[in-house]
Structures are given as structure tokens and as C-alpha cells.
Structure 1
Amino acid sequence: MILRGDDAGAIAQAAEALARGELIGLPTETVYGLGADAASDAAVAGVYAAKNRPADHPLIVHVTGADRVGEFAHDVPDFAARLIDAFWPGPLTLILPRRPDRAAAAAGGQDSIGLRCPSHPVAQAILQAAWARGVHGVAAPSANRFGRVSPTTAAHVADELGPELLVIDGGPCEVGIESTIIDCTRGVPVLLRPGLLPAAALEAAAGERLRGPGDPGLAEAAAPRASGTLASHYAPQAKVVLMEAPQLQAALDALTPDRPAPAVYARTPCRVAPGTVVQQLAMPRSAADAAHDLFAVLRALDATGVPEIWIERPPADAEWDGVRDRLQRAAA
């Protein structure tokens, strides 16, 4: 059931469902989430079951603001506090030391927890209404089957998880890919998943250089598990193949009538031989626009039933890191 996010009654209905331990679909600026009361192990178990997600793969807990961090985390380092000041509300998740008495199931059993404060007004309205009903944080991974393409509209959620789920419609997601994730449990900021936020801006706000998960001097054994960091993720049913523009054109030139045609998503215009029907969509030149469109495009092309989706590899520029990360995982 899809309800309008600009309806106060729908917001109240969603908050009451969360307080009863039920699941809801809710919009954020990144993607739509499958929400549950983060403090309820039974509700969180419902999220894992609905997504067919491994129970040790942690969820991100959404809170109303910086003043709610202490509900779930302790010993917040100074650089993390600076990141919160700079980018919350917004598409940034921080992995922080978890309070031992909070949200163990949502954290996948780890002693750390991922926290985010979404900027979407409908998400904020739901979180505020839920708080008033005793729900102090909403665990909300993307509202799709585990490993599949994330939803960026309410209709995507209903198509993925069924019409019985209460989904609050906040319109198409503004960002379109999941949040940046920074691990703040190892004394320095460690980038676990790129998103829309530029690394240079994150470093400027943190006052520290961002590390990578495999950087020398970081104890790999201490690295927390985090959402969306598996090698294979965000994948449609069709096989995703990444190619440079010349390789993509050569593959199109080599198509024969007896081979099922792929779909193509590319920034560079491609030629197709006469008589060959290939569905093509143009990738935006802007990284932000490409991020906004990415998951909707993958879903639309997948819906045509093509066996493969050939995608021009994004530029190596830092602003494309989030899009490139999602496509590499989709093609893994």
C-alpha cells in the first residue's frame, strides 16, 4: 500500500506501524529504505527476512539529528563530530562504537553501529513522529532483495517487496545512490563506501586524510562490516558488463543476428549495424545526474528482458567514485 508523504495521516500511520514492530518503506534523499524499530530485535529480524539478507550483515540506523547519536553510540571521536556538523542531515553514514545495550541485531552483532541522519523531509517527519511513539531510531537498509538494484521510487519498493508493505511516497530520490560510509572506530576516518560527497570535502571537514580499508597501518581484523560493501551488489537480473567506449563499439560491431542483443548505457554515442535492434540510453555527462538516474535506468533496462546490459565505464575522476563503485559491484 502506497500512501502520500505529504499527508500527515500517512506519516502518523507509518510511525504507528514502526511502534508496533512492523516494517515500512520510507523515502530518503539517497534511496528508499525498508524501515523497522532499531531497538526491536524482532522487527529487525523481519527486515533481514524480507530482504533475504544475512543476519550478520549490519543495517544503518537512521536518527533525527546529531543530538540522537548518544542513543546508540559512545566515544564519538572529534573528527566524526566534525563530519556530523558538516554533513548531517545528508547522505553520510558514520560507523561508531556501539553502546553495548543498544541495537545488537541491527548492528549484525558487532560492537560498532552505522548511523545516519537523512535530509529528506518525509524521512524526517517519520523519524520525528516515531520518536514521539518511543521509536528512537529506524534501521533502514535499501528496500529491495539483498544484492539487487536499490529502489529510488515508491513504485520500485512495491514491485520489489509486494503491495502489502506500507510505503510512504516521497517522490523520486534526489541523490539516487546510497550514502557515503566512513568508519570512525579505528582512530582515523576510513572510507568504506563512496557516495555523492567528494573525498576532498570530507577530508576538509574531518581535518584528517581519508584512509582506504586496505591502507598500511590499519588493522584489517578490526574493520567493521558495513552495508553495501560486498564485492557483488546492486545487480539486476541481466548480466552487467563494463567496457571502455572503443571496446563497447567493437562489441556492437561484432553483434550477429543469431545473438540476443544487449541493452546499452553509455555517454559516448554508439553505432549499430542496420537491421540490429539495440535499446540504448544515454548516460548523463554529470556524475551527480548519472548517480540520480543509475538505479532507475538499471531497473528499466532489466525490465526489457535483455540478457546483458553493456555500460560504458565511468570516468576515473573522483566525482564519479560513487557511480563507479556501484557499477563495479553490479558487474562483479
Structure 2
Amino acid sequence: MSNAHASARLAGIGWRGDPAAEAEIARGRVLARVVAQHRAGYELHDGERTFGAQPAAPFLKRGLDPAARPAVGDFVLVEPGRPPRIVAFLPRRSALTRAAAGERYERQLIAANVDYAFVLMGLDQDYNPRRLERYLSLIEGSGAQAVVVLTKADKHPQVDAALAGLVARLPAGTPVHAVNAKDPADVAVLAQYLKPGDTAVLVGSSGVGKSTLTNTLLGETRMAIGETRAGDGRGRHTTTHRALLTLPSGGCLIDTPGMRELKLTGEENLELFADVEALTAQCRFSDCGHGNEPGCAVRAALDAGELSAERWQSYLKLRDEREQQAAALEERLKRKAEAKVANKALGRHQRHKRRPF
């Protein structure tokens, strides 16, 4: 098969071309994209068919950073065999990550090589602008563009007012769309982000309508849909793993399970709160605690109503969490470096003991 034919075939799963990678085809390797990851291995798509594959030995090393392993959305090189083996993944144009749940610091890769991150939030009991700000903070450094999708627009009595209120608290230019995820005419507004070669990932809480939206975009019922609880609008996890799907529009969509815990990684810039950080820089004292200190620009803005107390508290919560996570990341890297030095010293000692006298 020629490189040109392989490249054209892969375009249907978001491939944009890379001569160096395509040269690997001539060496007998297969270029494919990760569409799902399971305990038993990976599910790949080569533009024509889906097949299973196993990771090569280097990806199975204990203690390996999860970001150093193939993930859903990655383009990989595969050596044919029984079973086929993933031997490498190609450089990522974007990577959406979060800190994994639990006390131990570990980064979790949600999706790779995505152009747009659809943040879904329901216009029902799920509506929570603070949670939305957390999602946007995680996305801002990923290389993907955030697109806010307010679902269940048919259940809200004042959609335009809700939309205007949300737009006012987001950075200028952030796309925000209110849709009924069951209505193809409503969902058509998202087609601009799902053109051939584009990849979008869906993120949001359980029950927000990710599977419903996916089915509407597919034009068929392929994803299971669960009922939401009447009390809080939350749903059960009908999506149990990340999966990349090809759409009739030519774009690709990655559906993800609902996220109950969304932790920052410690590397966020919090560009969402650029206005607040600009105020902190205007304080008379560099170590201002933004309480009763003289010349506090933040306190002046709060008193004048130029900065809302809610926005200030949202910023403080995310800033403090970012700093805590940054410290955890630094400690983890420090321990890793110390372990590497200790292992090298142990290796030298063992070689010395084996040396003949």
C-alpha cells in the first residue's frame, strides 16, 4: 500500500499527515489511532478497520508515567503479529490531562490529539458555573479549544438569560452554545467543530447528556443512555470507558465517562482569571494578603463592586489547589530523581562487587 493511499485512508480518523511517520509504513509498520483502551489491551483503527493490539514491553514498565503510555486519540505505530504490538506513539498536538483521584499525585491523560473540548453542563440541577471554571482551567493549557455546551435547553424557562449570564463571566471569545441534545437541528451548531480532520472530546458530569449528544451527532442510537435522578439531575455512568468514534460529518468524537472528581494538575495558568491576577499585581505590597492592608487593589475592587465576591472566592479556591498540586508534583519529581540517583549508585556498587580481583 502506498504512503499516499495510507494517508488518505487515515484522514477519516483525524490524521493530518507526517512524512516521517508515514515512512514507517514502508518498513512494514502500521499507522493507526487508539480508539479505546481496556484492561486487556488497546482497540485501534487504521482508517478501514478496527483491531486489537497489545503495548510493547517498554510501555509495561512499572512506575512509568501514564502520560508516557498510548492513550485514546493517540496515533501509534504497530508491528504486525499475533497479537499486533504498539511500538511507539507519535508526538501529540494536544493532551488533555487531570490529576488522578486519590492522595498520591498522579497525572491522568483524558485524551490526546483533540482540537476541541466540549464542556457539557446541563441547564437543570447540574448547572454549576464554578465547576465549569474548573474544567476551563484544565483545558486552557492542553492545546485544545474549550467549547461550552449547555444541554437540556428545552427544560430551562429562560435560556437566553442563563446564556448571557454565563458569557459575562467567561473570557471573551469563549464559544457557548445552548442546545437540546436530542434535537438534530439544535446540535447542528456544533458541526463547525467537527469537520473532516477535526477531533473533539466530550467532558462533563454523569447525566449531563454526553451519550445523548453523541447519538444525535452519529445519527443513530449507539451509546447507552441512562435516566437521571430526580433529586439532583445526576445520572449513572452509561459510558464506562473513553472511546473515539467517527462521525458522518468526517470529524471524530471522543466520549468519556462522567467525572465525579476533577483535580488540577498544578501547571495551570488560570488565564480564566487574568483580570483577578491583574488586580493582585496592582496592590501596594507584593505580599498583600488582600484583607485590611492599605493600598489593596483587590479589596478596593470588591468594595466598588467591580469584582464580585463569588468570582474572588472561585479564584482563591482554584489558586490554592493549583499551588498545592504544584507542590505535590515538585515533590514527586524530586523523589523520582533521588530514586534514579540511588539506582545508579546501586548498579555501580553491584558491578564493582562482580569485578574480579
TM-score bin, normalised by smaller chain: under 0.3
Q: TM-score, normalised to structure 2's length?
A: 0.25
By relative contact order (CA 8 Å, sep 6+), the higher-ranking structure is 1
Q: Which has the higher helix share?
A: 2
Greater Cα radius of gyration, structure 1 or 2 = 2
Q: TM-score, normalised to structure 1's length?
A: 0.27
